[in-house]
Structure 1
């Protein structure tokens, strides 16, 4: 994206494949996507060529709500294979770590989803509900004792990671490592996590040397390998000595004769620990920031927390759109809204833009917790890839906001340190301050 005055942007100034675009202020990003939505047809963006990565001419950007939902409903045309999460094809040797059900179509996707859906039993989800409440109370106790600090590391990360780790039976001693490994996997474009960055020449061409690219890929693969090793160890233990956790349910599941292979279990395990915390942690952090920037919405929420929190959670997810995009791959020629896509084309479903579509949302740039209806795609579009853990995420966000705003009603967020990413709209750090409550925090035991 060029350095032109953002108020006078044209589509020629916008390059969604340029990482520098995603470092721009969010207001500029919003104006850029509004321009793209106003175009009569989707724009094509060329991917930079980097060593060792499968080369592609680029992808068509689907930025309208109607296009994103239509593509999501038709996986037989808009395929998730070979990848749904990476703009470029990653080296094939990395598939064994990251080729999970999110990168699959039916019948492979349907098989795994049947098995894992059965494993998410009402009993297991009910146990998770109790754990969420206990853990949220203890986490806020410790935030109060610390007198404030970084909301991301002290609050937003901890709740979803502890909950999903407990569901899977991952011992507490591994929680910090799980956070580090998932930060690397979703922060693959941020130099802080992978130790390498894309550089741009005077002509705007993206460059990354062979050694830097190898360092980046090696760091990501190492994190994936370590999570696979943890999954394999836990899987072997639960196969011989089952307990009541999700790992036991998954490795011992037999649905109409279908079982997960060790590799299928390991890749789904990795998907759970990554996806099981990213949307929630970022929604919690964005939520505090949004309520700080919009005090009238905080007052509205606190005036009737139980009556308005469900709408507030949906609006936080819509407005922040923690997952910015997913990729799809055309299986055949297809016409949609007057544009003909060709077999082999790639498209990028920009949820962040779809959630601001003026044809669907009145005054989409306003944060309004009473918005109704709110058909956002923050948990993915309709269809087989809608987020399996959406209800768990909603519950975690609800419980944590209740703890924060009822116990620390004046808690506010400072300036965030944003993740350098075009995939995850996340905060790496977010300072928070509050007036300590008059009474000492409760003696909540570790859940």
Structure 2
């Protein structure tokens, strides 16, 4: 473990700050949409954060490999804080979306640099425990964030949900920055293979065009969708690890498994609170659904780090993908009104959260194990770009269904269709994960 415990504390506090923002905003967004109007832009409130992260992660990966993680983290920190201020002051949905874009640029730099710090500052045997701590930092806001966000939104204003993030961010930076300054570099030269920033920009534009096409649903949308898919076809492969193949094992399947698993889960997470609110639940109850699911996520992350879990890392990822698919299938039954009430989607989403805890930590660890030190920034960037790509595409697809069915369909049809689509993509992730190939579990006691 690193000698500088303040840096470790700062690492966790920064994860806590980003996690609190994510969990709290999930709960507050139905109130923000009700206040600002433009409900048809609801999906953009989430993809506006995801899409710019693709570009930010590419830039941060290059910086981490050439200059160390300090510049990427510092720039990301400033942008994330500025985005929070813009969103907190937003008088319209359009301004809120601008703030979310700036937040996304900052979050991409923060998240990528923190993963690189983990890979460089911790021994392989310790990284699984660090991932468990990360999950704990995601879980704590899941308990407090929805409650705080619901109280602030109902008693003051949803604007205060954004303001409440800044103290966590400031405290984490105060602890982490001194340690980052002292963190040894690993011979960064600037001559390595990096994720091309222009390719990341092309992919981000492509995803945005596809979502525009899905949201507008007019004849011109065919052109936007075609241009978007062409952009993805041209540039997406450039963002992946060297030697990437859609049918390849190792890093290729690891990145793809993360892309589809995370995208399926996050697409459902974006719409689950709205579904519950539209069915008459309070913001507090809707937030509780995210809280319970995060307990499952924490349990999965804890489980993957246990030395008595005698599964290889690739098998843990497969198990995680299976749990996500099974959980979303249960959500589909509840969302479509086939069985149960509100408790059934919550229970299913908790199982999906368990799968995410298993798969997210393990995919990060596999990339660390399979990457040479000088390519860790590049490959970690590819992993996170893949995750953001999946999140944006599948949340956008869910938003398309919402735009198409929501105005005239029942909540059962609308949200049942969304959950069904995401269940199908999660099943695809199971097949992809099964192709990774054997990867040793350093945490297992054999």
**TM-score between both structures, scaled by the size of structure 1:** 0.25
Q: Which has the larger radius of gyration?
A: 1
Structure with the higher fraction of residues in strand conformation: 1
TM-score (norm. length: structure 2): 0.25
Larger fraction in helix: 2
